[in-house]
Chain A
Amino acid sequence: MDPSEVEFLAEKEMVKIIPNFSLDKIYLIGGDLGPFNPGLPVDVPVWLALNLKQRQKCRIVPPEWMDVEKLEEIRELERKEDAFTAVPSPYYMELTKLLLNHASDNIPKADEIRTLVKDIWDTRIAKLRCSADSFISQQEAHAQLDNLTLMEINTIRSFLLDSLNCMYKLRSNLLPGSNKGQFTDY
């Protein structure tokens, strides 16, 4: 999967906006949206929120978890635990990037939030690398990882699968006289 595909999926998440126009309820394939009244908050998917923001038709309200104190707590928790902790949102990385790139004037302390989210991401990816490393070196058969987001899985997926395939080929070619002992070219 491409990271841009993951971002596309992230745009389905709902976010609160405050429009400055009025429109009746609209009926889209994915669900109903609206009605829109100026000054009243309404929940819309992120793709619509960004489009309206770029056309200066709304103000985006940052999600509840996008707050400096909450993110600092999550970061401390992540650093203490060995396993993965619960994430504020299954698409926290993509949402941070999208909202901070397009609507940073609506989000207070945007620079600190960006730094905190990056710290959380770095910690989690480091844990993922260690875990993958120990999985391979101890030749485990299965592993269970809770609380991983799609973006993190996507980051490590191709590398992990390719390296496991490689290891399998090397191992199977070492066994003497076995049926699988032929060189297979890619």
Chain B
Amino acid sequence: MFITDIRKEFYEVVVNQRVALLVAPDIDAICACKIIQALFHCDQVQYTLVPVSGWQDLEDMLRFYRYFVLINCGANVDLLEMLQPDDDSIFFICDTHRPVDVVNVYNDTQIKLIIKQDDDLGVPSYDDIFRDEDDDNEEGSDSGNESEGSEPSGKRRRFDEGVGGTKVRWFYEGVCDKAISKLALMFHSFLRREILFDYEQYEYHGTSAAMMFFELAWVLTKDTKDMLWWAIIGLTDQQVHDKITHIKYVTDIATMQRHVSRHSHRNEDEENSLSIDCMRISFEYDLRLTLYQHWSLYESICNSSYTSCHFKLWTLNGQKKLQEFLADMGLPLKQVRQKFNSMDMSIKENLRDVIEESANKYGMKDIRIQTFGVHFGFKNRFLASDMVHAIAALLESTEKEESDSDNFIKALDSLSRLLHSGIDLAKKKLIAVQQTIASCICTNLILSQGPFLYCYLMEGTPDVRLFSKPMALTLLCKYLLKAFVHSTRNKRCRLLPLIMAAPKDVEKGTVIVVGIPPESETSDKKNFFGRAFEKAAESTSSRTLHDHFDTSIIELKTEDRSKFLDALVTLLS
């Protein structure tokens, strides 16, 4: 069930208990985890932090705790059936994955959802899909009204008495034939399947978990600038990894802007100005060039997806266009190739406006985007998107032989401490992404399979180890699709979704497969590959592992790859 008063129904319940915090490995979850950890520290709540990367990790934790807080995992599956917990365990779920499983919505006792109800949830009403087992024997109809919705139909679940008490008894009226009522039952179960299929077909994302926990902190009046910054990073993660629509992003930015102005009005006072070491968050209408303040401007333009796609930097023509662009702005090449901090002040002053003007001439209308920046001390200035890339690189770093939990803890720490190692890793990752994209497009590795595009990264590809991680592979996939849409002349291919496969584990012989929706200006980011993958795996009995919280990412045995793809093609055409 949905929680309405987050303070009374969630925080005051857990504040006196031992809690298990189960956190998914994505940046929004990490930021939300930081916020709730800070709140727990203030009130000295005992908790255990467990980074979980898949469903199998969740099952081990059940025996020791009664109260669980799940961050960015658990809302889109039937949790009670999957985990089989004790009857007195309570799960608080704050998850951005939609659609929320109907059982989680209608369970009143064990599952509490920390999700805003005015998100476009579209949960089917209770009467449409549930029916109590007693009604199997009782048949009947309302006076003449046999159409949809009049007879509740559904499946059995373990429910509280209160829920079961809403069963309505329908009685025989007149001489209704048993055959007619059986037909009615079949019709309603068909309708129920239809409704559930429509509801669960597309997967998408809702409001950031970090923002939900920041609201909790605000309601408790314990919000600080640190927590606000983490909430902003969580929101920016959703935008960088293309999980929410642009409209939703802008709306959420407006919400955050109110909080930012509330926190920063104290800086204005000249008499009592704050120490330079205090964190200052400011609203920026800044360029879409990734990491440009920590890199040279030239490198940043070459490695940002937006500019590289519009210029088509994998072609010779594109490189020439880039040189033209720089000449048009009047920026000497020597300056532009230097580290950003060492560029001339005269160039840096109006840089954003100059770039925006020239970018408009080259067809890049949205080179600026609304975001936030932070600075503390004299040296540390970061934009929210810089932090997102740095933390993503730290979280999935394949440099040394470290376990996933070590990477998780490092990424968590980097939110409080400085990030320079993360930024270096992020630069390497972005360069690798651009090179892979260039090689895929130039060697035509993207094949059209009919209803979708397909690309497979061979084992010998440079940096392929980086792409064995789900988030990095998804990022590569999205950038590749954007680049492909800009480079192809085939109008039909531009509207196709993309499936990408990369080797995950050479010894076990598995590949990781990711599917993303088609690229368009007004895309609503709804992904249907989750269900499609499940059905294809079933029909070909391929050995797959649907362990990831995002249902559109699966692991597959390399040998089963071709029959899985054929099944998908038949399924989707």
A55 touching B275 by the CB < 8 A rule?
no
Give B276's nearest chain A residue, CB to CB: A111
A56 touching B222 by the CB < 8 A rule?
yes
Complex Cα distance, B274 from A109, in Å, reads 6
Interface string of B260-301 (1 = CB under 8 A from A): 000000000001111111100000000000000000000000
A108 touching B278 by the CB < 8 A rule?
no
Most buried by A among B44, B224, B275: B275
Give A114's nearest chain B residue, CB to CB: B275
**CB-contacts of A51-98 with B (<8 A):** 55-57
A56 touching B278 by the CB < 8 A rule?
no
A105 touching B42 by the CB < 8 A rule?
no
> For B44, what are the chain A residues with a Cβ–Cβ distance below 8 Å?
55
**CB-contacts of A9-31 with B (<8 A):** 20
B42 touching A57 by the CB < 8 A rule?
yes
> For B271, what are the chain A residues with a Cβ–Cβ distance below 8 Å?
108
B42 touching A56 by the CB < 8 A rule?
yes
Give B269's nearest chain A residue, CB to CB: A108
Asked if B157 is at the interface of the complex by the 8 Å CB criterion, the answer is: no
Say whether, besides A55-B41, A55-B42, A56-B224, A109 and B272 are in contact (CB < 8 Å).
yes
Among A20, A57, A104, A108, point to the contact of B277 (Cβ < 8 A): A104
A104 touching B278 by the CB < 8 A rule?
yes
B278 touching A105 by the CB < 8 A rule?
yes
Complex Cα distance, B43 from A109, in Å, reads 31
B224 touching A104 by the CB < 8 A rule?
no
> For B277, what are the chain A residues with a Cβ–Cβ distance below 8 Å?
104, 110-111
Give B221's nearest chain A residue, CB to CB: A20
B275 touching A104 by the CB < 8 A rule?
yes
> For A57, what are the chain B residues with a Cβ–Cβ distance below 8 Å?
42
Asked if A100 is at the interface of the complex by the 8 Å CB criterion, the answer is: yes
> For A105, what are the chain B residues with a Cβ–Cβ distance below 8 Å?
274-275, 278
B224 touching A110 by the CB < 8 A rule?
no
Complex Cα distance, B278 from A111, in Å, reads 11
Give A20's nearest chain B residue, CB to CB: B221
> For B273, what are the chain A residues with a Cβ–Cβ distance below 8 Å?
108-109
Complex Cα distance, B273 from A107, in Å, reads 9
Q: What number of A-B contacts does a CB cutoff of 8 Å give?
A: 29
Complex Cα distance, B44 from A100, in Å, reads 24
Complex Cα distance, B221 from A111, in Å, reads 28
Categorize the interface residue count of chain A: 10 to 19
B224 touching A108 by the CB < 8 A rule?
no
CB distance from B517 to the nearest CB of A (A): 42
CB distance from B519 to the nearest CB of A (A): 44
A111 touching B275 by the CB < 8 A rule?
yes
Complex Cα distance, B224 from A105, in Å, reads 11
Give B41's nearest chain A residue, CB to CB: A55
> For B222, what are the chain A residues with a Cβ–Cβ distance below 8 Å?
56
B272 touching A108 by the CB < 8 A rule?
yes
A110 touching B42 by the CB < 8 A rule?
no
Tally chain B residues at the interface, Cβ within 8 Å.
15
CB distance from A98 to the nearest CB of B (A): 15
Give A101's nearest chain B residue, CB to CB: B277
Complex Cα distance, B222 from A15, in Å, reads 23
> For B275, what are the chain A residues with a Cβ–Cβ distance below 8 Å?
100, 104-105, 107, 110-111
Complex Cα distance, B269 from A105, in Å, reads 13
CB distance from B220 to the nearest CB of A (A): 10
Complex Cα distance, B277 from A8, in Å, reads 25
Complex Cα distance, B220 from A57, in Å, reads 12
> For B276, what are the chain A residues with a Cβ–Cβ distance below 8 Å?
111
CB distance from B122 to the nearest CB of A (A): 39
Give B38's nearest chain A residue, CB to CB: A56
**CB-contacts of B406-434 with A (<8 A):** none
> For A55, what are the chain B residues with a Cβ–Cβ distance below 8 Å?
41-44
> For A100, what are the chain B residues with a Cβ–Cβ distance below 8 Å?
275
> For B41, what are the chain A residues with a Cβ–Cβ distance below 8 Å?
55
> For A110, what are the chain B residues with a Cβ–Cβ distance below 8 Å?
274-275, 277
Complex Cα distance, B222 from A20, in Å, reads 11
Complex Cα distance, B45 from A55, in Å, reads 12
Complex Cα distance, B224 from A55, in Å, reads 11
> For A109, what are the chain B residues with a Cβ–Cβ distance below 8 Å?
272-273
Complex Cα distance, B41 from A1, in Å, reads 32
**CB-contacts of B199-256 with A (<8 A):** 221-222, 224
Most buried by A among B272, B277, B278: B277
CB distance from B260 to the nearest CB of A (A): 16
CB distance from A71 to the nearest CB of B (A): 15
Give A113's nearest chain B residue, CB to CB: B275
Complex Cα distance, B222 from A57, in Å, reads 9
> For B221, what are the chain A residues with a Cβ–Cβ distance below 8 Å?
20
CB distance from A51 to the nearest CB of B (A): 11
Complex Cα distance, B222 from A104, in Å, reads 18
Complex Cα distance, B502 from A71, in Å, reads 65
Complex Cα distance, B221 from A56, in Å, reads 9
Complex Cα distance, B274 from A105, in Å, reads 6
Give B223's nearest chain A residue, CB to CB: A56
Give B43's nearest chain A residue, CB to CB: A55
CB distance from B252 to the nearest CB of A (A): 25
Complex Cα distance, B273 from A109, in Å, reads 6
CB distance from A99 to the nearest CB of B (A): 11
Give A57's nearest chain B residue, CB to CB: B42
CB distance from A36 to the nearest CB of B (A): 16
Complex Cα distance, B293 from A174, in Å, reads 67
**CB-contacts of B1-57 with A (<8 A):** 41-44
> For A104, what are the chain B residues with a Cβ–Cβ distance below 8 Å?
274-275, 277-278
CB distance from A101 to the nearest CB of B (A): 9
Beyond the given pairs A55-B43, A104-B274, 18 more chain A to chain B contacts, judged by CB atoms under 8 angstroms and listed by A's residue number, are A55-B42, A55-B44, A56-B42, A56-B222, A56-B224, A57-B42, A100-B275, A104-B277, A104-B278, A105-B274, A105-B278, A107-B275, A108-B271, A109-B273, A110-B274, A110-B275, A111-B276, A111-B277
19 inter-chain pairs at a CB distance below 8 angstroms, sorted by A residue, are A55-B41, A55-B42, A55-B44, A56-B42, A56-B224, A57-B42, A104-B274, A104-B275, A104-B278, A105-B278, A107-B275, A108-B271, A108-B272, A109-B273, A110-B274, A110-B275, A111-B275, A111-B276, A111-B277
* Closest 9 A/B residue pairs (Cβ): A108-B272, A110-B275, A104-B275, A55-B42, A111-B275, A56-B222, A105-B278, A56-B42, A111-B276
